[in-house]
Amino acid sequence: MSDLREFDVRSGVDEDVWQLSVTGTVEQSVTLSIDYLRSLPLETYTEDFACVEGWVAEDCAWRGVRVASVLELAEPTDASAYALVHGMDDEYACSFPLARLADAVLAVELDGEALPVDHGGPARLVPTESESDCWESIKWVCRIDLRETEPLAGDTAEELALSRIE
């Protein structure tokens, strides 16, 4: 947690005001509270988490909701093919092909406890493909914005994450 931006978020995340919205190419935009998210069917996904900076957190047991079940609520249009997923910190975002995003987990628990704010609570996007990049595991997720076309590379956090490597 060396990043000042994360500190700003840490002092600002309040579960009572946190919301997740699904917007863009959908029949109806929806906004979910953390209680609603926790009321959906939860599943556990356990995987080592490796950062490109060179460290590994072994056997992280993420428990949460498949993104597919959240997307369903908003009824994506047939032409929807990508999404830009935003964290609460500044402009932090990553783009995903929709099929890959649908399989990811929106984690609300880590190792049997409510997801700590340090690690992205109340909700963190956890991609389920083992070759996913560390910066795609988006902490403090607040918006999933669906698109028909691929967002520009500059819209995603890859460069930011790579710039942190000494």
Applying CB under 6 A, which residues contact ligand MTE?
3, 51, 87, 89, 92, 119-120, 134-135, 137-140, 161
> Residue 72 or residue 90: which is nearer to ligand MTE going by CB?
90
Give yes or no for residue 60 binding Mo ion (CB under 5 A). no
Exactly one of 51, 60, 81, 102 binds Mo ion (CB under 5 A); that residue is: 51
User: Which residue has the CB atom at the shortest distance from ligand MTE?
Assistant: 87
For 161, the enclosing helix (H) or strand (E) is helix 158-163
Specify which residues 113 forms β-bridges with: 110
Q: What phi and psi values does residue 24 have, to the nearest 5 degrees? A: 95, -135
Residue 89: contacted member of ligand MTE, Mo ion, none (CB under 5 to 8 Å, by partner type): ligand MTE
What single-letter DSSP state applies at residue 128?
Answer: -
Bridge partner residues of 63 (DSSP): 44, 109
The phi, psi pair for 160, rounded to 5°, reads -60, -45
Residues that bind Mo ion (CB under 5 A): 51, 134, 161
